[in-house]
Amino acid sequence: MTKKLGATISLERILSKQGFGTRKQCRIMIINEEITVNGALCGDPDTTFSPENLSFTVKGEAWDYKEKSYLMMHKPSNYECSHKTQHHPTIYSLLPHPLVVRDVQCIGRLDEDTTGLILISDDGQFIHRMSSPKHKVPKVYEVTCKHVMSDEQIAHILKGVKLIDEPAPIAALACERISDNVIHMTLSEGKYHQVKRMVAAISNRVEGLKRIQIGALKLPDDLKVGEWRWLSDNDMNNLRSKE
């Protein structure tokens, strides 16, 4: 059902929809005067508000109402992009609990030893648009190689390398040398260990891997390893750009 413009919702339901607990748990927090809305204390769980542009605090922590979650994270090494991890902590442990409760998902997982830009959302359409191969959203990786990358090797990556279990050669959209052992490789696919396998196919080896750009959205210089933030309107526009 489409929500009517300007429709109001009880504070109890708003908090529950935002991941702060069951409606009963949220009701208790409100009655215990642990919630403020737009700067004012609200102790009545049945008070209704328009969610649009709504700001509130829960036990002193400030939040803005978000119908859907759109996040970016600077993924650290030795973290897994899974809710059910095997050997390392999950990146979801770096997020506030209410967002995890909303069942946010990574958009295109990074290996446990890969760092850099990762998108997280609970919007299924957005996840599909950003991850589906048919949309060909380019992604740029900073690749540190064990050996010096020669002009011939870069040309080979741009022409296409043959990978096991792939019917046709796989080519990078772009490959730029940054230093003797560091390249920026742009791909529009997300095949299993693709960067590592492509570099191995030209007789080199990946020593470090970091995703630095998705679409036209670059990993911000001020987003430290392990930190996350909400995507801004400008960020969303950059993600829609394939240039």
Active site residues: 111
Query: Concatenated DSSP letters for 46-87?
Result: T-EE--TT-EEEETTEEEE--SS-EEEEEEPTT-BSSSS-SS
- Asked if 138 and 172 touch (Cβ cutoff 8 Å), the reply is no
CA angle 156, 135, 127 (to 5 degrees): 120
CA distances from 93 to 79, 97, 115, 122 (A): 9, 8, 16, 16
Backbone angles phi, psi at 26, to 5 degrees: -65, -35
Closest CA to 55 of 4, 102, 11: 11
